[in-house]
Amino acid sequence: MATFGHMFGRLAPLFGLKVECRKPADAENYGNAIYIANHQNNYDMVTAANIVQPPTVTVGKKSLLWIPFFWATVLADR
């Protein structure tokens, strides 16, 4: 999913977005992590796609099954 995310994240300049990733210097040594985003608008997907690193797994709602680029997502039935 992260590989596709990086390709999707390259759309940011087309929308006039500049993404700045801020993280602690030793963040690479943290090990496993969970990123939680309060989804506000469609720009969230473009900006978040620039910061995820392989191997990242995303979780989404089950109704996303019918959107082609969410196939690599773990889908949850709320």
Residue with tokens 């997502």: 73
For the ranges 16-20, 38-42, 61-65, which has the lowest average pLDDT? 38-42
pLDDT of the residue at 77: 84
> How crowded is residue 32: how many other Cβ atoms within 10 Å of its Cβ?
4
Find the mean pLDDT for residues 24-45.
Answer: 78
C-alpha of 9 from chain center: 9
Over the Cα atoms of the chain, what is R_g? 13
pLDDT bracket for residue 24 (50, 70, 90): confident
| Reported pTM | 0.51
Backbone CA torsion sign across 41, 43, 49, 51: negative
